[in-house]
Homo-oligomer: A and B are copies of this chain.
Amino acid sequence: MKYCIGIDVGGTTIKTGIFEAEGRLLKKWEIPTRKGDGGTQFLKDAAASIREALQELSIPMEDVLGAGMGVPGPVVANGYVEVCVNLGLHKCYPAKLLSEELSGMKVVLGNDANVAALGEMWQGAGKGHGSLCMVTLGTGVGGGIVCEGKIIPGVHGSGGEIGHVRVEDGEPEPCNCGGHGCLEQYASATGIVRVAKRKLAETLRDSAMRAFGEQLTAKDVCDCAKAGDAVALESIRYSMRKLSGVLAHVAMTTDPKLFVIGGGVSKAGTFLTDMIEENLRDYTRLIDDPDRRVVLAELGNDAGIYGGAKMVLEA
């Protein structure tokens, strides 16, 4: 039996999973992300916890095919990280550093959103597919594109970085990235709220959303829309149309058969995916395939560790 390891490094915790090469998750755990030493501290911690877990499962190092790690920042094809603010990484090859801590184990690196997309393809909503586009609607909008089994990392590590394409000219508020009019400003959890508040300010119409005041959340917007609130429905439709427009570009660029929607916002369910699918069909009439689908992600927060493990098998 051969094994592989998936590691999902976040700004707060490091999630790790040990998998059978066939895809069964044997053990997963989390440790805090200790920053410092130019990012080497958390790699040492990750390595130590992996050694411990392997010992516990009586898996000898030589039966481990390798480890795949996702980090929250741009990673170019050769594993180089120019800068990863959340982890304090700067001009380094984290996979090489982790490999040194693990007696030369094969370690591969990817951007976390890209890695999660690969995870969903392997054992989640994309099982059986070779190509897909995954979108994570959370505080921000993350994206990952897999094409014939491989992550598209991009020359600058911006592969699948669809949260930061401009979808609106003349947006006065800046995006976190410094740009203006990025998809993230309309379709992330915060973006959905921003759009709804703007709609409320622009209209005198009554809306159930008004009761939430400043505390309005993306979930509230979706719940009100589902309950038939007209302003909420217009608002979420606007947000999802922006997202669908970007996915239409993906459809005419890498042309997958499956779009997977994950992240906190996706808890609104098929209400959202149906809306996106309808828009997408309208936007890409050249592709007449009733089997092309927009579906909900299935692996939740585990997508990253699944994808990391699969990356080892694909490398």
Interface residues of A (CB under 8 A from B): 77, 130-131, 145, 147-148, 152-162, 164-166, 177-179, 245-246, 248-257, 283-287, 289, 292
Q: How far is the CA of A292 from the CA of B155 in the complex (A)?
A: 10
Bound together, the chains give a CA A77 to CA B248 distance in angstroms of: 20
Contact B246 A249 (CB under 8 A): yes
Q: How many identical chains are in the complex?
A: 2
Given A155-B257, A159-B253, A159-B254: A148 touches B178 (CB 8 Å cut-off)? no
Residues of B within 8 A of A154 (CB): 131, 254-256
24 chain-A/chain-B pairs, Cβ below 8 angstroms: A77-B148, A147-B147, A152-B253, A152-B254, A153-B255, A155-B256, A155-B257, A155-B292, A156-B255, A156-B289, A156-B292, A158-B252, A158-B255, A159-B253, A159-B254, A160-B253, A161-B252, A162-B253, A164-B286, A166-B245, A166-B283, A179-B286, A249-B249, A249-B250
Do residues A161 and B250 form an inter-chain contact, with CB atoms below 8 A?
no
Which of the residues B155, B251, B257, B285 comes within 8 Å of A255, measured between beta carbons?
B155
- A148-B77, A155-B257, A257-B156 known; A285 vs B252 contact (CB < 8 Å): no
Q: Name the residue in A130, A156, A166, A178 with the highest tally of chain B Cβ atoms < 10 Å from its Cβ.
A: A156
Complex A-B, nearest 3 residue pairs according to Cβ-Cβ distance, in ascending order: A154-B255, A249-B249, A158-B255
Do A145 and B253 touch (CB < 8 A)? yes
CB closest chain-B residue, reference A251: B158
User: At the interface, is chain A mostly helix, strand, loop or mixed?
Assistant: loop
A185 → chain B closest CB, angstroms:
14
Which of A77, A179, A251, A286: most chain B Cβ within 10 A?
A: A286
On whether the beta carbons of A177 and B245 are closer than 8 Å, the reply is: no
| A162 to chain B: closest residue by CB | B252
Q: Which residues on the B side are within 8 Å of A160 (C-beta)?
A: 252-253
The answer for the CA separation of A177 and B283 in the assembled complex, in Å, is: 12
Contacts of A287 in B (CB 8 A): 156, 158
Chain B residues in 8 Å Cβ range of A248: 165-166
Nearest to A132 among chain B residues (CB) is B155
Cross-interface CB contact of A177 among B77, B145, B285, cutoff 8 Å: B285
Report yes or no: B250 in contact with A158, Cβ–Cβ below 8 A: no
Q: Which residue of chain B is the closest to A285 with respect to CB atoms?
A: B179
Contact A131 B147 (CB under 8 A): no
Closest B residue to A179 using CB positions: B285
Name A246's closest neighbour in chain B (CB-CB): B249
Q: CA separation between A289 and B157, bound complex, in Å?
A: 12
Tell me how far the C-beta of A161 lies from the nearest C-beta in chain B, rounded to whole angstroms: 5
A274 to chain B, nearest CB (A): 20
Minimum CB–CB distance from A74 to chain B (whole Å) comes to: 9
Minimum C-beta distance from A159 to chain B (A): 5
Residue with the highest number of chain B CB atoms closer than 10 Å, among A161, A248, A254, A289? A254
Contact of A253 among B254, B286, B289 (CB under 8 A): B254
Shortest Cβ distance from residue A246 to the other chain B in the assembled complex, whole angstroms: 7
Besides the known contacts A156-B257, A158-B251, 12 further A-B residue pairs in the complex with CB atoms under 8 A apart: A154-B256, A155-B292, A156-B287, A158-B286, A159-B253, A162-B249, A162-B252, A164-B252, A165-B249, A166-B245, A166-B248, A253-B254
